[in-house]
């Protein structure tokens, strides 16, 4: 498998994520995307570096097992199946996602990148995933789908990190994983607290907290 193929698949998962209304399916897609991302460095032939291999495997473990595990548990507790009325509709989200992907393709050309970086699809894919994550965070109401958006955002950052993976110390990579893990935990706590305080996981209720 060439890395470009995996990247294309990642971008496709972005579109599917934006268009799906089922929470369960969104989680599955995030998991798929996480595993795809974990495979990319191996497909790029970087598996010969032991630390990169280790990082890729741990990314797959965290994104493919730990996060869906936490997600499913949260899902069992809050009893929601689908995102009912998002701020931005699904068709509109899809259009925006397409616009964002197109824009990132344009942007990636014009970005002043470090000389010597391989001109792959990596940069536009990273930007597109970043925008998708933002889009999900902005347009969805339920805390669970927002967590999914956050994970997609992190995936975008991870993709960007892959650009420099050969020079980047392992510390930074584990930092990304740790950040992700903390993010899921925090969101999990937030979800539980919203639910216990307002008896719903709608993030609109958080507006009552402002002073």
Partner 1 sequence: MPDITLILLAAGCWMVAAVLPFVPPVKEGRLSTVVGALGSLLAFVAALHALLSGHASHVDLRLWLGPVRLEVDALSAAFLLPLHLVAGLGIVFGLEYWPANLAKGFGRSLRFYFGLLVTAITLLFLLRNGLVFLMAWEAMAVSAFFLVATEHHHPEVRHASWIYLVCTHTGTLIITASIILLAHRMGGFPWLPISGAAEDLDGWILLLAVLGFGFKAGLLPLHFWLPAAHASSPSHVSAILSSVMLKTGVYGVLRVSSLLPTVPAWLGGALLALGGLSAVYGVWNALAQRDYKRLLAYSSIENLGIIAMGIGLGWTGRATESPILAALGFGGAIFHVWNHAIFKSLLFFGSGSLLHATGTRDMEALGGLAARMPRTALLLFPAVLAVSALPPFNGFLSEWFLYRGLFASLKGGYPWSAGLALLALVLTGGLAAVAFARFYGTVFLGSPRSSAVDHTHDPSALMLGPMALLAGLTLAMGLLILPLLPVLDCIIGLLAPSPGGLSAGSLAAPLASILGRDLRLLLVLEGLLLALGGLGLAWLGGRKVRAKAPPTWDCGYAAPTARMQYTGSSFADGWALALPGVTRRVRTIRRLFPGPQTFRLKVVDAVGDGMVVPWFGRLAARLLRFRRLQPGFLALYILYLLLALLAVFLWLLVRGRFLA
Contact set with partner 1 (CB under 8 A): 87, 106-107, 110-112, 127, 130-131, 134-135, 137-141, 146, 203-204, 206-210
Closer Cβ to partner 1, 6 or 180, answer by number: 180
**Shortest Cβ 114–partner 1 spacing (Å):** 14
- What 168-173 contacts at long range (C-beta under 8 Å, 24+ apart), as own/partner pairs, is 170/51, 170/54, 170/55, 173/55
Question: Dihedral (C-alpha) 102, 106, 109, 110: value to the nearest 10 degrees?
Answer: -140
Q: How far is CA 182 from the centre of its chain?
A: 14
* Rounded distance between C-alpha atoms, residue 24 and residue 146, angstroms: 13
Residue 52 or 80 having the CB closest to partner 1: 80
Q: Closer CB to partner 1, residue 57 or residue 163?
A: 163
Measured CA to CA, the distance from residue 50 to residue 66 in angstroms comes to 22
Q: Which of 27/123 has CB closer to partner 1? A: 123
Q: How far is the CB of 23 from partner 1 (least distance, A)?
A: 17
CB 128 within 8 A of CB 11: yes
By beta-carbon proximity to partner 1, the closer residue of 153 and 165 is: 153
Q: How far is the CB of 210 from partner 1 (least distance, A)?
A: 4
Nearest distance in Å: CB 104, partner 1: 9
Question: Do you know the residue count of the chain?
Answer: 211
Closest distance of CB 208 from partner 1, Å: 7
Question: Rounded to whole angstroms, what are the CA distances from 108 to 49, 112, 123?
Answer: 28, 9, 6
Q: Which is nearer to partner 1, 171 or 207 (CB)?
A: 207
| Spacing of C-alpha 70 from chain mean position | 15
The least distance separating partner 1 from the CB of residue 134, rounded to whole angstroms, comes to 4
């Amino acid at each position: 498998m060439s890395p470009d193929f995996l990247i294309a698949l990642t971008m496709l998962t972005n579109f599917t994520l934006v268009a799906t209304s089922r929470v369960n399916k969104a989680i599955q897609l995030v998991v798929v995307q996480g595993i795809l991302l974990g495979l990319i460095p191996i497909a790029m032939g970087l598996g010969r570096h032991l630390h990169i291999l280790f990082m890729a495997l741990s990314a797959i473990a965290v994104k493919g097992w730990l996060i869906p595990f936490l997600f499913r548990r949260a899902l069992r507790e809050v009893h929601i199946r689908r995102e009912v009325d998002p701020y931005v509709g699904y068709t509109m989200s899809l259009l925006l996602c397409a616009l964002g992907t197109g824009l990132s393709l344009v942007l990636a050309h014009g970005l002043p990148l470090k000389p010597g970086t391989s001109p792959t699809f990596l940069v536009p894919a990273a930007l597109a995933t970043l925008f998708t994550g933002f889009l999900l965070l902005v347009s969805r109401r339920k805390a669970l789908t927002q967590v999914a958006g956050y994970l997609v955002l992190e995936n975008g950052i991870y993709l960007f990190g892959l650009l420099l993976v050969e020079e980047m110390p392992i510390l930074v990579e584990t930092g990304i994983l740790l950040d992700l893990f903390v993010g899921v935990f925090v969101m999990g706590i937030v979800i539980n607290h919203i639910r216990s305080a307002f008896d719903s996981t709608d993030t609109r209720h958080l507006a009552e907290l402002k002073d």
